Amino acid sequence: MKTIESSRRQFASDNNSGICPEAWEALRESNQGHARGYGDDQWTEKAADLIRDLFETDCEVFFVFNGTAANSLSLASLCQSYHSILCHEIAHVETDECGAPEFFSNGTKVLLLSGANGKIDPASVEQMVNRRTDIHYPKPRVLSLTQASEVGTVYSPEEVRTLGQTARTLGLRMHMDGARFANAVASLGVSPGEITWKAGVDVLCFGGTKNGTHVGDAVVFFNRDLAHEFDYRCKQSGQLASKMRFLAAPWIGMLQEGAWLRHANHANHAAELLAKGMQAIPGVKLLFPRQANSVFAELPETVRAGMRERGWFFYTFIGRGGCRMMCSWDTTEEDVRAFLSDLAELSAGSPKHGSDTGSR
Ligand SMILES: *Cc1c(COP(=O)(O)O)cnc(C)c1O
């Protein structure tokens, strides 16, 4: 067996961290005796009730294994195959789900919108919908936004409301990819209902994994009619867990005493420290406003290579030289300092900036 790499915490992704203590404890607690399968158990009921309490509304809740399933199955339930789904051009739905939304909706076309900082511009929604209104083109049916966005920015309540109104006016339903919904709520300091159903969101994919659970995201239908036969959709796609209590129980641990928000706040705060530190290093250029738990920056090639040599992993999928650093529920200030210290040292030595800048 390959030896297991050092367990050093990284900034590669918020899914690289482990299970937070609250989720772990709830999982352990649920591991006793027998419980009915397929969601017909007390843990699942309690977790769904806690989500209803959190959103202060009587929504329908389903637990599936991951975010791709949550997004693609919920999107499929909002439209027919001859419809289209509008999302930002860098939306996870478009770039990171291997065509699952199209697959599960039997071919619904995904149309791409633009907008600064990874956020959809309402004008682009209107343009896309009005571009073609004839029978030869798929009919726009769903607007999907990501909160927090793929580049770590956050839609304000006002922005979500405006998009919600635009969607309503144009006859679109609204879907929210909330893989990092907790980080958005923490960043905005609003109640979860404020930026979802009160602003026009019909269905939210509420991420648990990146917030600290082991597996399992929740699909929250505020518009209950749209949840019609969603259970069949889950079963058919292999997303109905037979031991459902183990998908649901961690949510109890996350929600009942506010761990979900505490962890999101913590991760956001770590990202803020990281962003501030990086900003002060010559040669490092931050790419987007830091609003959630990520920092995006352009680093010179030699610095990136040096960081890799020192054992740091991070993704570089945003443009040329654009690096993404993600913080998690367990990221410590020491982790941030260690990363910054290596970055400053390598940046000072980078040919572009000379070795005598004294940037440390
Ligand atoms: C991580 C993520 C998801 C879910 O991805 P899975 O790997 O399928 O759990 C969905 N949307 C966004 C924006 C994400 O970052």
Alpha helices in 56-156 (DSSP H): 67-78, 92-95, 100-104, 122-131
Residue 209 alpha carbon, nearest atom of ligand 1: 9
Ligand 1 atom 1 nearest Cα = 179
Specify the pLDDT at position 355.
44
What is the Å distance from ligand 1's center to 301 Cα? 28
What is the Å distance from ligand 1's center to 322 Cα? 20
Q: Could you tell me if the CB of 146 is within 6 A of ligand 1?
A: yes
60-72, pLDDT tens digit by residue?
999 999 999 999 9
CATH number for the domain running over 259-348: 3.90.1150.10
Q: Once rounded to an integer, what is the mean pLDDT over residues 126-136? A: 96
What is the Å distance from ligand 1's center to 345 Cα? 33
Q: Could you tell me if the CB of 253 is within 6 A of ligand 1?
A: no
Specify the pLDDT at position 5.
60
- Cα–Cα dist 144/188, whole Å: 20
- Cα–Cα dist 201/175, whole Å: 6
Mutate to test the pocket of ligand 1, among 92, 150, 211, 217 (most ligand atoms within 8 A of CB): 92
Specify the pLDDT at position 349.
84
What is the Å distance from ligand 1's center to 175 Cα? 14
Q: Once rounded to an integer, what is the mean pLDDT over residues 326-341? A: 97
The predicted model scores a pTM of 0.95
Domain 21-255 belongs to what topology? Aspartate Aminotransferase; domain 2 (3.40.640)
Ligand 1 atom 6 nearest Cα = 67
Q: Which amino acid is at 263?
A: H
Specify the pLDDT at position 141.
98
Cα distances (angstroms) measured from residue 234 to each of 73, 85, 111, 139, 229? 7, 20, 25, 25, 9
Return the DSSP state at 85. Answer: E
Residue 149 alpha carbon, nearest atom of ligand 1: 13
Domain residue spans of the chain = 21-255, 259-348
Specify the pLDDT at position 357.
43
Q: Could you tell me if the CB of 67 is within 6 A of ligand 1?
A: yes
Phi–psi pair at 321, nearest 5 degrees: 80, 5
- Cα–Cα dist 180/208, whole Å: 8
What is the Å distance from ligand 1's center to 92 Cα? 7
What is the Å distance from ligand 1's center to 217 Cα? 10
Q: Could you tell me if the CB of 177 is within 6 A of ligand 1?
A: yes
pLDDT classification of 352: cutoffs 50, 70, 90? low
Interior/surface letters 182-218, b for 16+ CB within 10 angstroms, e for the rest: bbbbbbbebebbbbbbbbbbbbbbbbbbbbbbebbbb
Q: Do 219 and 185 touch, CB atoms closer than 8 A?
A: no
pLDDT over threshold 70, residue 57: yes
What is the Å distance from ligand 1's center to 109 Cα? 20
268-311, pLDDT tens digit by residue?
999 999 999 999 999 999 999 999 999 999 999 999 999 999 99
Mutate to test the pocket of ligand 1, among 71, 96, 326 (most ligand atoms within 8 A of CB): 96
- Cα–Cα dist 175/154, whole Å: 15
pLDDT over threshold 50, residue 85: yes
pLDDT over threshold 70, residue 321: no
pLDDT classification of 317: cutoffs 50, 70, 90? confident
What is the Å distance from ligand 1's center to 283 Cα? 31
pLDDT over threshold 90, residue 318: no
- Cα–Cα dist 302/207, whole Å: 35
Ligand 1 atom 4 nearest Cα = 67
What is the Å distance from ligand 1's center to 314 Cα? 17
